[in-house]
């Protein structure tokens, strides 16, 4: 892919205490409206906030990483990234682009930042999932050289049932990952 200036800045979260109330509100709203979780109708806001913070805290405790995605001027939250280890050589990246940022190239910009995040981590394969009806993400993953995983591989990943397509990228052959 052609090199270009990123539209986004990533702010790594090292503790749930690093998460601003404004970002948390954006996150809860977008998770409630997304395929990822449909919890707001059944539980109150307080429960949704606690569940979200518990998820992030658990991710960080188990070697994962969490990033807030902002625009370059740092005026607007655009989404989030989770990176979760699956093994000593596999990691999974999850990207949530907020509805207000959809169609603005945020997803592509975030994916272009991933090699910088993963460089020198020792991971050899990046795994990412998406919903079957998310045509934009499927097209982006293919454009980035990711290949769709087989159903046998999916069983070994043992992921949540609401994600129904997984793709992988061999990081050891990706030029952006070379030192």
What phi-psi label fits residue 74: left (phi over 0), alpha (psi between -120 and 50 degrees) or beta? Answer: left
Axis-axis angle for helices 45-61, 21-33 (nearest 10): 100
* Per-residue confidence (pLDDT) for residue 41, from 0 to 100: 56
* 160 band by pLDDT with thresholds 50, 70 and 90: very low
Mean pLDDT of the chain: 80
Q: What is the number of other CB atoms lying within 10 angstroms of the CB of residue 109?
A: 22
Give the chain's domains with CATH numbers. Answer: 8-177 (3.40.630.30)
pLDDT tens digits, 65-115: 999 999 887 688 999 999 999 877 889 898 888 888 888 888 888 888 887
Which one is predicted more confidently, 164 or 4?
Answer: 164
**Contacting residues for 96 by C-beta, under 8 A, at least 6 apart:** 27, 30, 31, 34, 36, 79, 80, 81
Strand-pair category, 90-97 with 125-130: parallel
* Per-residue confidence (pLDDT) for residue 47, from 0 to 100: 77
Axis-axis angle for helices 106-118, 135-143 (nearest 10): 40
* Per-residue confidence (pLDDT) for residue 7, from 0 to 100: 80
pLDDT at 161 over 80: no
Which one is predicted more confidently, 1 or 122?
Answer: 122
**Contacting residues for 90 by C-beta, under 8 A, at least 6 apart:** 123, 124, 125, 126, 127
**Whether the Cβ atoms of residue 126 and residue 168 lie closer than 8 Å to each other:** yes
* pLDDT mean over 8-36: 82
Give the whole-angstrom CA distance, residue 64 versus residue 98: 21
**Contacting residues for 151 by C-beta, under 8 A, at least 6 apart:** none
């Amino acid at each position: 892919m052609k090199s270009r200036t990123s539209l986004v800045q990533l702010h790594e979260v090292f503790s749930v205490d690093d998460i601003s109330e404004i970002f948390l509100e954006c996150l809860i709203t977008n998770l409630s409206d997304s395929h990822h979780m449909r919890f707001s109708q059944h539980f109150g806001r307080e429960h949704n906030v606690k569940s979200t913070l518990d998820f992030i805290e658990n991710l960080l405790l188990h070697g994962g990483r969490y990033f807030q995605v902002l625009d370059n001027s740092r005026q607007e939250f655009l989404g989030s990234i989770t990176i979760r280890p699956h093994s000593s050589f596999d990691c999974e990246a999850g990207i949530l682009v907020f509805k207000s940022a959809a169609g603005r190239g945020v997803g592509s910009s975030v994916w272009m930042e991933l090699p910088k995040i993963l460089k020198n981590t020792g991971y050899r394969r990046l795994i990412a999932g998406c919903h079957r009806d998310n045509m934009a993400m499927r097209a982006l993953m293919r454009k980035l050289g990711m290949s769709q995983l087989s159903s046998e591989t999916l069983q070994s990943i043992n992921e949540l049932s609401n994600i129904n397509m997984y793709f992988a990228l061999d990081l050891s052959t990706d030029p952006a990952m070379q030192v």
